Amino acid sequence: MTSQVGMPLGAYLKECFTQMVEWRRHFHQYPELSFKEENTPAMIASILREMGLDQVREKVGGRGVVGTLIGGKPGKTVAIRADFDALPIQDQKDVEYKSKIPGVMHACGHDGHTAGLLGLASVLAQHREEIPGTIVFLFQFAEEENPGGATYMVQDGAMDGVDAVFGAHLWADFPYGSVGIAPGPVMANADDFTIKIQGRGGHGAIPHQTVDSIVIGSQIVNNIQTIASRNVDPLESVVVTIGTFNAGDNFNVIADSCKMTGTLRTFLPEIRDLSERRLKEIVEGTATMMGGTAVLDYDRGYPAVINTAAEAEMVRQAAISAVGEERLIPLKPTMGGEDFSYYLQKAPGAFVFIGARNEEIGACYPHHHPRFDIDERAMLVAAEVLGRAALAFLHNHQG
Ligand SMILES: [Zn+2]
Ligand SMILES: [Zn+2]
């Protein structure tokens, strides 16, 4: 295996940095919510056309944009993905590029993903003669909201003929200049659920004539923690969280019904199946035991992001070339979710975390925080790591 990519990619990208920052700040000032993106994909498509890509497809899966660059030499096809949706958060930063759209903000860094990939596309388009194969640029809408844009783009053929896929997230937990990559699972199966409990309401002082839905709900909250402590192998990962618990109207009334919502996170498919089954059994069993009924409505979200070993190694080598081995961070998987997994169900590939934190410029808040920001130089690192990994894949599979 070689990480030789046939061109000084880092130097080429640096020439494009001012442009990347300009694009990123434009997206940052005019963010658009998941499944409502209009101007962002239109702008992406027009930039890609100006670069002279061989094909630019709009409205892929609804709102996605796919650009195709055919290299000067024959070879395989590799895809690189960036997402471009924003979040329903009021931007509270004091910077001149803060969001101009009330209540909407790029608080996850997707603006940087997209500007970085546009920069990479423009550099590669200028050097297409040296590329042994085809590069597909996937610009994805609606990563933040179930069922996510990726699944629709894949259904609409975005991954047809693609032999490998790479993606990155700018990461606030890691300092600028560092890169986190690992083979195997890196992000979780992210499922959500609703529990509706039906008891029998009545007077708060006459409990024996009622079935108290709050007491049932309380028991369920406790009992479902035994999925982690008593059902799943302690060396495997599972999180069960109840996020909302709503019941009751008055202090002296026993609540007739109770509703809870929560999320269940796992990595392995068999642990996901087991946890969903146990959740249902415990919810229904606990309610029955206490004379009420309960219904579980379980909604499977994004599947786990599982990096394939060979492609994760290509990204690791790419990162060593881009930032040096001492800046690689041993990546612990996160229980967050990402719909990049849908691309990985179609082709091998890897998802990499690019350090974007810099206290000195105020880029020190977590993702989805109203003051979230990135060190914009992280876009260069992301573009170089993804570009090098993609080119390495094409070079390694030549002939
Ligand atoms: Zn996010
Ligand atoms: Zn994100």
- Residues making up the annotated binding site are 108, 110, 144, 169, 368
Which residues, including other chains, have CB under 8 Å from residue 61's CB and lie 6 or more apart?
141, 149, 151, 152, 153, 154, 155, 156, 158
Phi, psi angles (nearest 5°) of residue 264: -125, 125
Ligand nearest to the CA of 167: 2
Question: What's the 143 CA to ligand 2 centre distance in angstroms?
Answer: 7
Distance CA 124, CA 130 (A): 9
Domains plus CATH for the chain?
Answer: 9-187+304-397 (3.40.630.10), 189-299 (3.30.70.360)
Distance CA 309, CA 305 (A): 13
Question: What's the 280 CA to ligand 2 centre distance in angstroms?
Answer: 30
Distance CA 383, CA 64 (A): 20
DSSP helix/strand/coil, 102 = coil
Ligand nearest to the CA of 171: 2
Beta bridge partners of 374: none
Distance CA 39, CA 19 (A): 18
The 10s digit of each residue's pLDDT in 283-332 is: 999 999 999 999 999 999 999 999 999 999 999 999 999 999 999 998 99
The residue type found at 237 is S
pLDDT of residue 185: 95
Distance CA 80, CA 120 (A): 10
Question: What's the 283 CA to ligand 2 centre distance in angstroms?
Answer: 32
By annotation, the residues acting in catalysis are 85, 143
Q: Minimal CA–CA distance to 337: which of 169, 225, 175, 221?
A: 169
pLDDT of residue 4: 57
Question: What's the 286 CA to ligand 2 centre distance in angstroms?
Answer: 37
pLDDT of residue 1: 42
pLDDT of residue 2: 42
Ligand nearest to the CA of 87: 1
Question: What's the 326 CA to ligand 1 centre distance in angstroms?
Answer: 28
CB atoms within 10 A of CB 342: 24
| Chain CA centroid to CA 146, Å | 11
Question: What's the 42 CA to ligand 2 centre distance in angstroms?
Answer: 21
- Which residues of the chain are modeled with pLDDT < 50? 1-3
- Residues making up the annotated binding site for Mn(2+) are 108, 110, 144, 169, 368
Ligand nearest to the CA of 340: 2
Q: pTM for this one?
A: 0.91
